[in-house]
Structure 1
């Protein structure tokens, strides 16, 4: 399922009049704007209907209540993140590709804080569509890390480690967890460098 936006929308503006037909990309773009501006908890059927200038029951033609909205928004968020990460990896390999993935991941969370949170809050993480959207990101990271010769479980451990580092950094930053007057970008750079140093050690042991 692809929710790629076709029409650009200014923040805070309603995209529909009561006479205009709804489609899922339009609904999700507006839901994402609410999430980024006000937080994921502000995304309700009532708030979304108000932004779209429609009545809440109209949304039930597209998904089953708030859980359905949260599911589709999670998929939309994962697809947007995958697109950003894929673009960052184009023409790069090895350490440079990992660095760009890390920077892009954190920048996505900075630019789209509500949408990033939505990517983590699917009502049912076992849902097949949600899993497929998330797996694309895992597969991308696995391909980027494949140049280090990591295979099977070792490769998955490395992907988990990278995601944990980036998510932890992004989450702490969002919640104001870094209070000292130090460059956050420098801290992120050093963190990724430390991860890469560990990956090179894993590669060395794998070759021995």
Structure 2
């Protein structure tokens, strides 16, 4: 099996992304990656430090991909409009790239500094969107955890095939209501702060 293409970090990541989306994040192996690149598995170790390193790179790619999608959607928007765009971008990414979305699962346990920094950058985007609501620091964390949990829960259940039956209520309407409820909570919090 001879090397038929230039092997570099970009080619390896590109092939890994393609394999992940077709075979699944958990099913990715160095053997399958080497076969896709038409090289012998030991050749990969000149560029990556094993499967864990490869998964970190995939998670990094997925985070940057999602972050760019969110940034593009929120340009020129603020408050409720920005929140809706972030929620839609999040769901769109999870629907279009379900296996890459699974790569996020390794982030909490990873000690990779670049990966942590990108994850924080994405979270900071949420903090900036919430700034006009003048939340207390602890409440900012609560609201961000609430919306992230709601979005992750919805897209995860949707990916499993739930929400197909709902007494005539379409899942799009339910998703929009989740976002509406979050916005209502923010507005109520803001009104309470003004009265104080």
User: Fold match, TM over 0.5?
Assistant: yes
Correspondence for 2:5 among 16, 20, 23: 20
User: Gaps spanning 5+ residues in structure 1: where?
Assistant: 1-16
Kept in 2, the 8 Å contact 1:30–1:48? The answer is: yes
Map 1:176-195; keep pairs closer than 5 Å: 176-180=161-165, 182-195=169-182
Correspondence for 1:145 among 130, 146, 152: 130
Give the aligned partner of residue 49 of structure 1: 34
Give the aligned partner of residue 19 of structure 2: 34
Give the aligned partner of residue 202 of structure 1: 189
Give the aligned partner of residue 127 of structure 1: 112
Aligned residues: 192
Paired residue secondary structure (1:61): coil
TM-score (ref. length: structure 1): 0.86
User: Gaps spanning 5+ residues in structure 2: where?
Assistant: none
CA-CA distance at 1:160 after TM superposition: 1.2
Q: Is 1:67 the equivalent of 2:52?
A: yes
How many angstroms apart in 2 are the aligned matches of 1:155 and 1:138?
11
Paired residue secondary structure (1:41): coil
Q: Which is further off, 187-196 or 30-39? A: 30-39
CA RMSD of aligned residues (A): 1.7
Correspondence for 1:162 among 127, 136, 147: 147
Which of these two proteins has the greater Rg computed from alpha carbons? 2
Kept in 1, the 8 Å contact 2:17–2:58? The answer is: yes
Q: Is 1:91 the equivalent of 2:76?
A: yes
Q: Is 1:111 the equivalent of 2:96?
A: yes
Alpha-carbon deviations, 1:100-136, whole Å to 9, x = none?
1001100000000111111222483333222111001
Alpha-carbon deviations, 1:24-48, whole Å to 9, x = none?
2322222122222221112110111
How many angstroms apart in 2 are the aligned matches of 1:204 and 1:197?
11
How many angstroms apart in 2 are the aligned matches of 1:88 and 1:34?
28
CA-CA distance at 1:150 after TM superposition: 1.4
How many angstroms apart in 2 are the aligned matches of 1:121 and 1:197?
32
